[in-house]
Structure 1
């Protein structure tokens, strides 16, 4: 079925860092319903369905399939979407796909999170037996026990159980074949991508020890255990999974916050974060990730030069509150009062004398507040 892609859903800005999300056997991309929309505030999120699950065509794999076959389908999807390098997070079989990609295609994976998964799935026999059962009897009987395999007692997600029941039996069995043949334990040390392991403490399918084995073998890997979570942690404990994934993947936002503090000062950033609400959270993330995490960290211009450009732009648009803040920032970035005055005098030529007059008054007030005599107000 050359040319047919995995069914998928893309969310978030096309210009944001791409993040691919892989599902567990028997589920669809609905597994990520309570996590993906939040991640899409900072990422171009692409979640996909396994062959024969959700909306993906069953014929994309056949008997004897491997995790490597599934990984190639994911790469074909990424290529079709114009995504060269991406962050990746996957659950169970989706996590195994991520491990395979990190080992065999390290140039494609910028960062990896493996959730409720393993470098091996307890040998081939249980999966061979399950594959034979499904090929013989279909999925109705197996789906009846999905809650016990996936969740702690009393919890369920009807949509995911329905997805399990409605999956194509042959494609499901082929995925079982892939799990039966999967064992990456001897190659974990080759993984170079920053790696996070997330374990559900109540997970009977891939207990925390499986994730701990990966964390111990992958250089620099981190392990998070989620209390009360079973095998499908993103559906059962979405807030905890979201917190862990944000901390792992939002590198630009973290770096941006560090630069923002260095330029604007801790007090300003602390006030901005204290005022943050759910309504403004995405805007604050945008500022941290793009303005401070990408633009202000670009080494092409020094921070001194960026301060001069910023002062000019703020004068031109009459943003006096922002101007006061960036006069302080300019001092932190090494500009002297004389240099600040020279920048403002330049704005008088190109932005107009009234705009520069107001800017000089603002700058003089700020400099005097800091105990530095300001340049005389030219007005």
Structure 2
């Protein structure tokens, strides 16, 4: 079976995330976003037929978005991915909407970026398909900057992708856009859904994303100023922040994990001391350290406790060490296992550091057991 050309990044054991491109681009559209997402996800970027390295023969005249969605599912199946989060731009977002309506059992979440439940009717896309079949893509690529980006911004590599795409495959994708209209099925979308709109997008303006948000229960709409149709290329930081919050549960999920590991009493104390000056730092800790790193399934929480205690000993952060000795007990480590970790630090971090670490850990363990700590070396 011939599969869509694709690129995989991130840990093989991490939650899978498929990223879909816009018409005329390649998976390079995600270059400024995918590497960051791959810290916590197995990111799989794919190319449309006739774009990048995907075979043009995978699609033919009269194709539908459903045909493209089937190719995406073939790719997921070949990679052993049963359920996955999905994010797509424009036509790639339409593929995600189709999957959410017709194959909800395969998705864990959906993000539609600069996309729509319809693309302004059939006629403009049928006409574009005819023009491309007759004249090729060179002339159309000349207007890509105006259609894709705000004035003065460009990504030469994406313009080159547009120019070098296979005309027949591109035209077939136009056919798919011409026939696409899921407005009457949007209420059937049940997976957690994020909509991202570029405020300066002429192709799929914010009203198109608002239409989806109004119909999909519990969805979230983010509008990005200074962004046109290819928001991941033009506003990668903003798109990344929205996707991180959507995919990882953001600060809310991080706060839940933080409480599970450190305990309610500690987190409540930290929150009670929060000021306007420290609020952003507390949000950063909850969102990034706890919402992304501690939730990554590559390491168990037991293993993360071992790594964390070692790092704290190495840098002499004994107050933090005390907190994470308590966390290690919540994560299932026995006192003997904690002692073994600290003994290991004596070899690689130095005896004086380990001596202070043993004193700190012994005090914490004694407090937990209701006894008094003894002397250390």
Shorter-chain-normalised TM-score: which range? 0.7 to 0.9
- Measured after TM superposition, the shift of residue 289 of structure 1 is 1.4
Counterpart for residue 235 of structure 2: 237
The CA deviation string for residues 200-255 of structure 1, in whole angstroms up to 9 with x for no partner, is 00000000000000000011000000001000001111111111111100138853
Q: Deviations over 1:313-351 (max 9, x none)?
A: 989xx99957632454589x6xxxxxx9xx759999xx9
For 1:371 and 1:13, the matched residues in 2 are separated by 36
Runs of at least 5 residues in structure 2 that lack an aligned partner in the other structure: 344-354
Q: Which residue of 2 aligns with 1:21?
A: 19
Native 8 Å contact 2:89 2:114 kept in 1: yes
Residue equivalent to 2:223: 225
Shift, 1:261, TM fit? 3.5
Rounded to whole Å, the distance in 2 between the matches of 1:107 and 1:58 is 29
Q: CA–CA distance in 2 between the matches of 1:70 and 1:118?
A: 16
What is the SS of the residue equivalent to 2:105?
coil
Q: Which of 271, 276, 294 lines up with 1:288 in the alignment? A: 294
Q: CA deviation at 1:375?
A: 2.7
Question: In the superposition, relative to structure 1, how do residues 371 and 30 fare at CA in structure 2: closer, same or farther (>3 Å)?
Answer: closer
Q: In 2 relative to 1, CA 210–252 (structure 1 residues): closer, same or farther, beyond 3 Å?
A: closer
CA contact (8 A) 2:117 2:183 kept: yes
Instruction: Tell me if the contact between 1:256 and 1:294 (Cα under 8 Å) persists in the aligned partners.
Output: no
Q: Give the match's secondary structure for 2:8.
A: strand
Kindly tell me: are residues 255 and 295 of structure 1, through their superposed partners in 2, closer, same or farther at Cα, counting changes over 3 Å? Answer: farther
Contact 1:257 1:288 in 2 (8 A): no
- Aligned residue number for residue 129 of structure 1: 127
Q: Which residue of 2 aligns with 1:198?
A: 196
Change beyond 3 A, Cα 1:325–1:51: same
Instruction: Give 1:159 deviation, angstroms.
Output: 0.6
* Equivalent in the alignment of 1:259: 257
TM-score of the aligned structures, taking structure 1 as reference length = 0.79
Q: What does residue 174 of structure 1 align with?
A: 172
1:271-295 C-alpha deviation (Å, 9 max, x unpaired): 9x95999xxx99877642137x995
| Distance (whole Å) between structure 1 residues aligned to residue 18 and residue 228 of structure 2 | 22
Matched, 1:78 2:76: yes
- Structure-2 separation of matches of 1:371 and 1:25: 60
Give the CA RMSD over aligned residues.
4.1
Equivalent residue in structure 2 for 1:141, among 139, 142, 146? 139
- Aligned match for 2:372, one of 364, 370, 375: 375
In the alignment, structure 1 segments of 5+ residues that lack a partner are 297-305, 334-339
Count of aligned pairs between the two proteins: 350
**Matched residues in 2 for 1:192 and 1:92: separation?**
20
Residue 84 of structure 1 aligns to a residue whose secondary structure is coil
User: 1:162 aligns to what SS in structure 2?
Assistant: helix
Q: Which moved more, 1:67-76 or 1:254-263?
A: 254-263
Give the 5 Å matches for 1:335-346. Answer: 344=335
Deviation by residue 1:327-378 (Cα, 9 ceiling, x = unmatched): 54589x6xxxxxx9xx759999xx99xxxx999854564489x899633528
Question: Who wins on radius of gyration, i.e. which is larger?
Answer: 1
